[in-house]
Structure 1
């Protein structure tokens, strides 16, 4: 049967944290709103810096900008509705809107995973094959790789949404999550979804474990190459060139792997704790990434310092300081 013949649900109810007392709704909505504003402001600042500062117009920072744009897309897809749910008690999500949100949620999640694989590739070539780096990681090649990731990341989420749309929905319509995702929606289908779970599992292996395996291989090779450097100063310099990306990758993968491990091992956790862990790896990295850029990337700190001097003293004073 088609979805039109069986589906009676026209809207979903976004529950959020099921055990959260109503008196905390205002506090939670303010927290989500603060996270969203800082996420958009911090990542927008990085994009603007990259566009205006020639010193940052390098392949490595081009990859970071791609990640910043993806983070902004994910946050804009996920956070406004949950903010409205707790701020205005607007918990209703139309059927088609929920599926579109599901598509974008998994699209930006897949995109982030592939971009982090590119970041690992960039550092692998820079440290393990430094003589070939200027030839392989040109601005043109990085743009091609980024565009390819932005396009191909639609493949697996599109497969999932096509299957989800074909299922009938005739029973409960409460989504125990802060946004519409594949797992939450599939559980509400009035059909046997074992095949759907198999497809979702294969998609997860492609967009998560394949990039993660390459990332582990890349940083393993980097560590091996760094340890072969004779001087401690050389080892420290090589390590600092990839520390920023390593921090970002750890923030994205460690909490996600923890959730998957609990599922495989069979550890039972409360719905609220599960949602909190999912938000930790989906919402927190876009929020914290700009701070990691600013504190760990020397050239970004210098660019920000120039901008502060321009705002405080004017462009002429800043230019004199730079010349000196």
Structure 2
């Protein structure tokens, strides 16, 4: 069939988790709603702390600010629709809305990868070039790099949407996923997918492996630099400053690399296991990241403690004043 906007499909149907019995739909929607709520609360808390506490206005926390905003947007792009599917039995999504969702899924994924690159750059300069760090990585510099990270991420996903949207979709309209993505949509096209799938695969590899290569290089340099420090306390202190970001980077990259490598060496996943795995590595980091900030970043812990102290102690003072 010739390419063009000859689509007879007006809407798509998201299957969610294949094989999930209807009696578990309520539990599934409740769990997804809990994940979404925790993601919003955790990341919004950091945004609030950053906005109200000037002690957090440092390059590292400007980077985390971008990560929190990206995590909120990604969860908001993907979760509400699948929650309504299981809560209200509404799994349909319009043709255009599916492509809009596909764009934001890949766009925000690219932004996330760019931000993790900035995280690695921050730690690389802080440990390997500590004297240059305050001169090179100022707040204004991070602001410019963050804007660049958000802007350059638009090109790839936009080209994917522009090429996929006009394809003829005249067969099945069932997407075996919890949200619309490039693979899920283009496999339904009544045409050869190779000319569209291969460029998308190359784009995904560049987005994933490009920053990952620099992250690997930067942490090799960091380890070499740390090993040159004479005392153990100095080594541990230097490594502790990397621990937060290293955990966040690991949560993002390790599951993705495992899935990509497994698929390329011939390991096959059942459809339900594949979707569960994708949802875990897509939605767990946005929910867990704020907890990692609070537990591992001293400045954030102190800011959170001061905020709680201000909210609790004034009440105690009012109560004691009334009792007197």
TM-score by length of 1: 0.96
Report how many aligned residue pairs link the two structures: 316
Any conservation in 2 of the 1:3–1:165 contact (CA below 8 Å)?
no
Aligned to 2:213: 213
For residue 312 of structure 1, report the CA deviation from its aligned partner: 0.7
Asked whether the 8 Å contact 2:3–2:191 carries over to 1, the reply is no
What is the SS of the residue equivalent to 2:13?
strand
How do 1:110-125 and structure 2 match up within 5 A?
110-125=110-125
Match of 1:273 in 2: 273
**Equivalent runs, 1:139-218 vs 2, <5 Å:** 139-218=139-218
Stretches of structure 1 lacking an aligned partner (at least 5 in a row): 318-324
User: CA deviation digits over 1:187-245, x for unaligned, max 9?
Assistant: 10100111111111111122111001011111111111111111111001101111000
- What is the CA distance between 1:81 and its match in structure 2? 0.2
Per-residue CA deviation, residues 123-146 of structure 1 (Å, 9 max, x unaligned), is 000000000000111010000000
SS at match of 2:89: coil
Match of 1:320 in 2: none
Q: Distance in 2 between matches of 1:95 and 1:59?
A: 41
Corresponding residue for residue 3 of structure 1: 4
Q: Deviation of residue 117 (structure 1)?
A: 0.4
CA offset digits 1:62-104 (Å, max 9, x no partner): 0000000000000000000000000100011000000000000
Task: Give 1:276 shift.
Answer: 1.0
The alignment yields a C-alpha RMSD, in angstroms, of: 1.2
- Contact 2:35-2:287 within 8 A present in 1 as well: yes
Question: Counterparts of 1:236-275 in structure 2 under 5 Å?
Answer: 236-275=236-275
Return the alpha-carbon distance in structure 1 between the equivalents of residues 159 and 281 of structure 2.
23
Looking at structure 2, the residues matched to 210 and 198 of structure 1 have their Cα atoms a distance apart, in angstroms, of 17
| 1:321 equivalent in structure 2 | none
Counterpart Cα distance in 2 of 1:3 and 1:86: 34
CA distance in 1, matches of 2:261, 2:3: 35
Contact persistence 1:173–1:188 (CA under 8 A): yes
Q: Distance in 2 between matches of 1:60 and 1:196?
A: 38
1:92 paired residue number = 92
In structure 1, how many angstroms separate the alpha carbons of the residues matched to 2:202 and 2:166? Answer: 19
Please name the residue that 1:31 is paired with: 31
Q: Is the 8 A contact 2:70 2:111 kept in 1?
A: yes
Give, in angstroms, the shift of residue 270 of structure 1.
Answer: 0.6
CA distance in 1, matches of 2:304, 2:222: 29
Q: Distance in 1 between matches of 2:107 and 2:187?
A: 20
Residue 246 of structure 1 deviates from its aligned partner by 0.3
The separation in 2 between residues aligned to 1:65 and 1:148, in whole angstroms, is: 15
Q: CA deviation at 1:166?
A: 2.1
Equivalent position of 2:322 in the other structure: none
How far apart, CA to CA, are the structure 2 residues paired with 1:314 and 1:248? 36
Partner of 1:322: none
SS in 2 for 1:82: helix
Paired residue secondary structure (2:38): helix
Distance between the aligned counterparts of 2:79 and 2:316, measured in 1?
Answer: 41
2:132 and 2:25 mapped to 1: Cα distance?
Answer: 54
The CA deviation at 1:163 is 1.2
Structure 2 Cα separation of the partners of residues 21 and 294 of structure 1: 38
Instruction: Give the match for residue 46 of structure 1.
Output: 46
Detail structure 1 runs of 4+ shifted over 6 Å in the superposition.
none
Q: Secondary structure at the match of 1:13?
A: strand
SS in 2 for 1:40: helix
- TM-score (normalised: structure 2): 0.96
| Structure 2 CA distance for aligned equivalents of residues 314 and 239 of structure 1 | 38
